[in-house]
Homo-oligomer: A and B are copies of this chain.
């Protein structure tokens, strides 16, 4: 997938404490970067996490995360965390993520959420308002 396939990206600079003894970002910290990117994606939809989503009756739980490491990010690197919603099912949402540093594609990943009813904490259909805002932001409808 080309960098240009993402309509949303968030800049992020690697901190000293995130780099390990090999001089590269510790492998687990990319899930932290994914989370920051997804938080900013929600802000861009107009439903900031978590209150904006709760107001729509949506409580999200991560059910699966995947990270593929192509090249290493290093201390002080200026990264772009590219985020898009690849697919929305009945009660699930799949985020596709890529981390780029200039022309280098460093990391790919996926984070799958299940949508729950905040009151019952059981899975529930993704609200129509979320589907619409995401479709508008993406310029395509991930619900289909």
Contact = CB atoms under 8 A, between A and B. Distances in A.
* Number of identical protomers: 4
A123 interface: no
- Chain A binding surface, main DSSP class: mixed
A16 B31 contact: no
Nearest to A68: B64
A65 B67 contact: yes
A17 interface: yes
Contacts of A61: 69
B17 A28 contact: yes
A8 to B, nearest CB: 16
Interface in A64-108: 64-69, 75-76
A1 interface: no
Interface string A14-36: 01110111010011111110111
Interface residues of A, number: 31
Interface in A39-62: 39, 48-49, 61-62
A63 interface: yes
A101 B17 CA distance: 22
B16 A21 contact: yes
A33 B64 CA distance: 16
A69 B63 contact: yes
A59 B22 CA distance: 11
Interface centre among A16, A20, A48, A67 (most CB of B within 10 A): A16
